[in-house]
Structure formats: C-alpha cells, structure tokens
Structure 1
Amino acid sequence: MAGKTALIVLAHQERTSFNFAMKEAAACALKRKGWKVLESDLYAMNFNAVLSRDDITGTFISLYYLFIMLYAITGVVKVEKKANGMRISCFFMYYLQNKKALLSFTTGAPPSMTSNSGLNGDINVILWPMQNGILNFCGFQVLEPQISYAVAHIPQEARVGILKNWEKRLEAIWDEKPIKFLPIQDFEGPTGGFVLKKEVEETLSESKYAPTVGQNLGKPLPPDSQVKSEGTRL
C-alpha cells in the first residue's frame, strides 16, 4: 500500500536469531509493497527498560521517564542515552489516526505449553498486559500477534515456511481487522471509580463468555481473544 510507513522495533539482542530473520523478512515484504520502513533497534540504542541509578536525578525519580519507557517500546518516542544525559526525539507521525501495531515474537515452547492448562499459562492472559495495557492504551489498533512457536525445535523447512507465510500476511496487513477492546467510553470517570458503566455491564452479562481477559466479570475467558480478531475467531 503506497504511502504507508512502518516502524519495526527490534527488541532481541541476538541478531543471528530467527527473530532477526523475521525482522528482515518484514522489512523486505513491506518495501516491496511500497511502504517506507523505519527500524528502531533498542539494543543498538542501549535502551534499558529497567530503571537504574543512572536514571535518577536528585532525590526523586522522574515519572516522565517511566512514560518515556512506555512510548519508546511502542515506537512513538525514541530514547538515546548519551554521556551527558538522555536525548529524546519524538516521532510525531505516529500520533496520526489509524496507527496499527502487532507483536511478532518466537517462543521456545510448543503451543500446548501456552494453553490454558499449559506450564507457561494461557497465551491470552500473557498477552493482555502488553496488547491492552501498552499498545491499546497508547492508541494503537492492535492486530493479531505473529507467534512463531518452538522455532529452535522444528525442521529448517518449517522455519522457511514460517517466513514465507509472514511475508504473505504482510502483503495485506493494512486491511486486517484489529483485536477488539472495550472502548474507554464504556467506563465511568474518576468519580465512578473507572469501572464499567452499569448499563454496559448489564448488556455484557448476557454473554456466555467474559467481554475481555481483563474485564472478565467472573466468567470464562473469551477464546483466543488476544491472538485472533473477531473476524478470524472460531
């Protein structure tokens, strides 16, 4: 899609890993479709998501830095640490409407290990804080994550297949429907404690499943809600 800009944030330190191959495949596929591709390598920037003594000035910790960390990993703000302090440059283009984001990552485990009875726990629960608490909170439409399971334990031809399918998906990525989250207008404001409005909760109570992983209302979690959009869920 001509005229589109993509920001690829590399958050894995091993550039020889399959994650790097996924990044390269994404960049090539998007460029072929006419996208402008920007790359942000957090490790090359020496970015550390863990607050350290170097980030403390005087007798207090700047809450502003915490927001900078949040935005740095979503591509809205680029953070570079210099000897004389922190330099911040904003990517204002990512405040434009219709910005979309997706997580692409590999695992060392098979899908069964991140099922609702698996050792690592339900992948939907694992993804909720990142996809809702970071991406959705920052105003992104969140697309289905690209999860490559157990890549170190599958044949080379299977890994090649993953890369080809990833490139094919990217050819029409802008037309994909996002994962659904409850809109902020469904919640009360400060005086109401930021909980679901009574009328909204009453409407949602008729469903067999919870509306979301987070706002579950004590019901069974919606199947695949963080790995599939409503249009592709079974």
Structure 2
Amino acid sequence: MNVLLVHAHPEPTSVTRHLVDTASEVLAAQGHHVMESDLYGMGWKAVFDGQDFPERTNEDRLSFIEESGHAFANGCQTTDVEGEQRKLQAADAVILVFPLWWYSMPAIMKGWIDRVWAFGLAYGYRGAGNAYRYGEGGFAGKRALLAVSVGGPEKDYSPRGINGPLEQLLFPITHGTLFFPGMQVLPTFAVYGSAGIEPGRMAEATAAWKRRLERLFDDEPIPFRPQNGGDYPDCHVLADHVAPGLTGLLAHIADAPQFGSDVEGS
C-alpha cells in the first residue's frame, strides 16, 4: 500500500518527529511505500490567497471556489499544490502527525489543507455540489489517521475533563476535513503529557504507536454516518427516528457511546 505521512513540527527531536520516524520505519518494514510531506522542512506556504491562482478567471473579485475549481479543472494550479495532490491521489492511507496547538493542528498544516483540498477534488466533486460528501467524494476508499502529541495530561481530555474529550475537539478535522471528502477515519492516536515526557513513558507510547501502525489497514474506522446512507433524508438533517433525543456532534456517529474509547494515551 501507499501511505502518505504529513507532519508539522520544526523541531527534529520533538515527539511529533519521533512518531513520524517510527511510522516510516514500521510501515516500510511491512512492505508499504511511504511518502512524506514535511511541511516545515518544505517551507510550505500556509496562506491561501490570490497567489494560488496564476491564471485568474476574475481579476476583479477573488472567489476561492471559482478560482480553485478553474485551476484544478484546467491544470493551472501552483506546482507545490499539484505535487501534494499527486501524493494524496496515490495514497491508500494518509496519516497527519502534529502537536495539538490551541486545540487544533498547527497553522502550517491547516494551510496545507486549505490549499490542497481543491474544488472539484475534495469538495464540489464531479461538479455535483454537495451530492458527494461525508463518506463519498474524491478521497473515497482512502484511510486516514491522526497522530497527535498533546502537552497536557490525559485526564484533562477525559469525558468530563476540563479541556473536553480529544475526539470531540478534533471532530472538525476527522469528520469535516477527512470524512467530508470520503476518507474512512480511524480513531485518533494520542500521546498525552508530551511536554517533557520521560523516556520510559515515551517507550510505552512508541510501542503503542507501532501496534496501531501494524493495524492501519485492519482497524475499524470511526462510524460516522454517511450523508447518502439514509440517515439524512434531505442530505442536511438527521431523520427524527435516528438517534432520537441526541444532538450535537455525537448524533453524527453511529456508535456514539463508544466514540473516543479507542484513543490511546501514554
């Protein structure tokens, strides 16, 4: 299989970089072909702006949807974006490895998503508006996994922890960024207390990470409800008989009571 590792941390001795190096070794040893996008090492342009569209269709007003769709359809995207899209399209699985900064991914990784997730590929698929999303789309058939280094202790991210459950904090990424264009998203792998982690605990985390990598193509994904599976009759709102009385993020997960139970801490 082809696996794309996308990572964002400027420090080579960071927990993030350790997870990346471990993943590269384990996956290669299993016979997979590993591709990497080291966003800091690449000097990735994080800002999504008019410079992303060398051949504008409208010079008077910048419409990202219009310009992105035109650039993707006509082969006039910037070379860095095209290169990352080629990696994505070749990948059977995508692993995003990053530190949790202010409850989300670093800005440079968000900028990678903003620029690479083009109209016509990640959204607006087949020119059909929102017909193919949440379980279908340009990335259907691919697996996705987040590997996150978290500075705080695991109890802060427990079901009643002060920061909120990690999987719910990451819902905009797992459900929005990854499941929206069709990826099957695995439960997040997390290393808690990563700030100043002791060698013994790092060894435990590494062993747990290796086990997760070995099951990359076997583990069950988070059971997000697909848009076109019948739970959303109008493709917008859950049917009354689906998860009655349940609202918010968990309503969109078929196995909500167990959601987040597979997150691994160290």
User: TM-score normalised to the size of structure 2?
Assistant: 0.64
Q: Could you tell me whether the CA contact under 8 Å between 1:9 and 1:42 is conserved in 2? A: yes
Could you tell me which residue of structure 1 aligns to residue 12 of structure 2? Answer: 15
**Separation in structure 2 between the aligned mates of residue 182 and residue 211 of structure 1, nearest angstrom:** 13
More strand by share: 1
**Separation in structure 2 between the aligned mates of residue 88 and residue 170 of structure 1, nearest angstrom:** 28
Q: Percent identity?
A: 28
- Per-residue CA deviation, residues 100-140 of structure 1 (Å, 9 max, x unaligned), is 01000101100111234333223232011110001101211
Structure 1 residue 187 corresponds to structure 2 residue 232: yes
Could you tell me which residue of structure 1 aligns to residue 64 of structure 2? Answer: 63
| Equivalenced residues, count | 201
Structure 1 residue 173 corresponds to structure 2 residue 207: no
Structure 1 residue 88 corresponds to structure 2 residue 89: no
Residues 20-31 of structure 1 aligned to structure 2 (within 5 Å): 20-31=17-28
CA 1:115–1:60: 2 relative to 1, 3 Å:
farther
Could you tell me which residue of structure 2 aligns to residue 38 of structure 1? Answer: 35
Q: Could you tell me whether the CA contact under 8 Å between 1:30 and 1:170 is conserved in 2? A: yes
Letter of the structure 1 residue corresponding to residue 186 of structure 2? L
Residues 56-205 of structure 1 aligned to structure 2 (within 5 Å): 58-64=59-65, 88-89=82-83, 90-91=85-86, 92-94=89-91, 98-185=141-228, 186-188=231-233, 192=234, 194-196=236-238, 198=239, 201-205=240-244
Aligned residue for 2:170, secondary structure, equals helix
CA 1:116–1:175: 2 relative to 1, 3 Å:
closer
Q: Which deviates more from structure 2 when the two are superposed, residues 59-68 or residues 115-124?
A: 59-68
- Determine which structure has greater relative contact order: mean sequence separation of CA pairs < 8 Å that are 6+ residues apart, divided by chain length: 2
Letter of the structure 2 residue corresponding to residue 104 of structure 1? A
Aligned residue for 2:5, secondary structure, equals strand
Structure 2 stretches of 5 or more lacking a match?
A: 70-76, 92-137
Q: Could you tell me whether the CA contact under 8 Å between 1:128 and 1:226 is conserved in 2? A: no
**Separation in structure 2 between the aligned mates of residue 126 and residue 228 of structure 1, nearest angstrom:** 15
- Per-residue CA deviation, residues 197-225 of structure 1 (Å, 9 max, x unaligned), is x3xx31422xx866952649xxxx93451
Letter of the structure 2 residue corresponding to residue 213 of structure 1? L
Letter of the structure 2 residue corresponding to residue 88 of structure 1? E
Instruction: State the shift of 1:54 in Å.
Output: 4.9
User: TM-score normalised to the size of structure 1?
Assistant: 0.72
Instruction: State the shift of 1:165 in Å.
Output: 2.1
Aligned residue for 2:4, secondary structure, equals strand
CA 1:152–1:10: 2 relative to 1, 3 Å:
same
CA 1:19–1:10: 2 relative to 1, 3 Å:
same
